[in-house]
């Protein structure tokens, strides 16, 4: 996060996105780290996530990226949150629960849809319908923003179309007579690849956790913030021809050693991970058979002791399992993997770079799967 902050002009504000439990890393811990690194704002997807941060004592401005239910507006005002508006109807409905000039300022960011197609104002007519609601004395337009669909792809043609469309929409805002404090369009990939798109603020989500299109970005080097470890709970030897796994999904081609690891699809290690590898004793070991709800099996390089350290993401010896490798296997993005890690996976937070030495030397506790952030 500090590397990203240093790469931005001093005039550009940084919004740290800590939605989805901090992309699986822990929302409160991620927010605290972002604040320490110089973030100016926080962002979450849902009101409930913002409530958690306020309950934990977070004081930074927080933007809720998804429009909330209008009846919850008084609670959002009490918590001093910034809210996303994507239609005139939403703001009209809010007035049922927040009469004009009551309960302080309604701080909003207007979402513009330039091509991603999720939510937002798409046409000048929609904007013109919204503007009268924005002119109310108790409304503060804190932001005007959009989000790119292809910023992490090599082909920039669609991003350029969205950029041009947002430039046109910015003129709607500037000619409206409204005071708009921040214009922002760049998420992680766009902020790192195209500094000219930084505008007044950038929204850093995936890159905050070390996920970015590194083959397209040369200006900064980021490392994943999380590693994932477990331990063997059972070791056995299969004879050639023996089966294991639901549906007899694996058959031993030779006599081989098998280890059971207590992590499964209920923890976020889905069956799409079948065919990937883990690390044990500094060597790669393939996952064999179907991944179960609570456990998975690996083909060991030889006999291993119960309790041997298993690394599912991270470094062990000279070998490394990366998020990029796993994401390529499942055909998706790295943050889907981290965000899927469930509450049964204990999180340990550390500032030391000697994580793996600590893991190898620590007194063994009854914790069999753990993410180190």
> What is the set of active-site residues?
19, 246
- For 266, phi and psi rounded to 5 degrees? -70, -15
Mean pLDDT throughout 133-158? Answer: 97
Residue 354 or 166, more confident = 166
- 39 by Cβ neighbours in 10 Å (0-12 / 13-18 / 19+) ranks as buried
Instruction: Categorize the per-residue pLDDT at 3 as very low, low, confident or very high, splitting at 50, 70 and 90.
Output: confident
Best CA proximity match to 141, nearest among 112, 170, 109: 109
Is 112 one of the annotated binding-site residues? no
pLDDT digits (tens, 9 = 90+) for 48-101: 999 999 999 999 999 999 999 999 999 999 999 999 999 999 999 999 999 887
Do residues 199 and 12 lie in contact, with contact meaning Cβ atoms separated by under 8 Å? yes
Please check the confidence at residue 360 and state whether its pLDDT lies above 50: no
Q: Cα(290)–Cα(306) distance, rounded to whole angstroms?
A: 21
Please check the confidence at residue 353 and state whether its pLDDT lies above 60: no
pLDDT digits (tens, 9 = 90+) for 189-219: 999 999 999 999 999 999 999 999 988 998 8
pTM of the model: 0.91
Domains delineated in the chain: 2-209 (3.20.20.10), 227-372 (2.40.37.10)
Instruction: Categorize the per-residue pLDDT at 11 as very low, low, confident or very high, splitting at 50, 70 and 90.
Output: very high
Q: Are strands 62-64 and 82-85 parallel, antiparallel or unpaired?
A: parallel
Q: Cα(293)–Cα(263) distance, rounded to whole angstroms?
A: 8
Q: What is the pLDDT of residue 32?
A: 96
CB atoms under 10 Å from CB of 241, counted, come to 10
Best CA proximity match to 81, nearest among 96, 59, 100: 59
Q: What is the pLDDT of residue 153?
A: 95
Mean pLDDT throughout 272-293? Answer: 97
Please check the confidence at residue 356 and state whether its pLDDT lies above 60: no
Instruction: Categorize the per-residue pLDDT at 368 as very low, low, confident or very high, splitting at 50, 70 and 90.
Output: low
Is 118 one of the annotated binding-site residues? yes
Mean pLDDT throughout 296-320? Answer: 96
Please check the confidence at residue 354 and state whether its pLDDT lies above 60: no
């Amino acid at each position: 996060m500090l590397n990203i902050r240093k790469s931005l002009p001093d005039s550009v504000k940084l919004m740290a996105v800590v939605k989805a439990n901090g992309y699986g890393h822990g929302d409160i811990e991620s927010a605290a780290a972002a604040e320490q690194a110089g973030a100016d704002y926080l962002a979450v997807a849902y009101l409930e996530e913002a409530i958690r941060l306020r309950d934990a004592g977070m004081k930074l401005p927080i933007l809720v990226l998804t429009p909330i239910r209008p009846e919850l507006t008084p609670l959002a005002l009490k918590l001093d949150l910034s809210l996303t508006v994507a239609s005139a109807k939403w703001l009209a409905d809010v007035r049922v629960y927040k009469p004009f000039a009551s309960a302080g300022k309604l701080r909003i960011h207007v979402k513009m849809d330039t091509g991603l197609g999720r939510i937002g104002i798409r046409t000048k007519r929609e904007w013109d319908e919204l503007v009268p609601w924005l002119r109310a004395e108790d409304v503060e337009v804190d932001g005007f923003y959009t989000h790119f669909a292809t910023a992490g792809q090599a082909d920039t043609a669609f991003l350029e179309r969205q950029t041009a469309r947002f430039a046109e929409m910015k003129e709607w805002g500037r000619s409206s007579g409204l005071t708009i404090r921040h214009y922002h369009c760049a998420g992680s990939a766009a902020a790192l690849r195209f500094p000219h798109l930084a505008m007044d603020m950038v929204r850093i989500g995936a890159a905050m956790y070390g996920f970015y299109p590194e083959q397209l970005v040369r200006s900064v080097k980021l490392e994943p913030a999380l590693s994932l470890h477990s331990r063997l709970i059972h070791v056995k030897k299969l004879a050639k021809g023996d089966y294991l796994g639901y549906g007899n999904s694996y058959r031993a081609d030779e006599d081989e050693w098998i280890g059971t690891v207590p992590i499964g699809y209920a923890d976020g290690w889905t069956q799409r991970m079948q065919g990937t590898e883990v690390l044990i004793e500094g060597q790669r070991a393939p996952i064999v058979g179907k991944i179960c709800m609570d456990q998975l099996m690996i083909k060991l390089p030889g006999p291993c002791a119960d309790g041997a350290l298993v690394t599912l993401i991270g470094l062990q010896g000279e070998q490394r399992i990366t998020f990029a490798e796993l994401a390529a296997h499942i055909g998706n993005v790295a943050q889907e993997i981290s965000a899927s890690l469930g509450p049964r996976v204990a999180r340990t937070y550390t500032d030391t770079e000697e994580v793996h030495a600590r893991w190898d030397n620590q007194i063994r506790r009854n914790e069999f799967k753990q993410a180190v952030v």
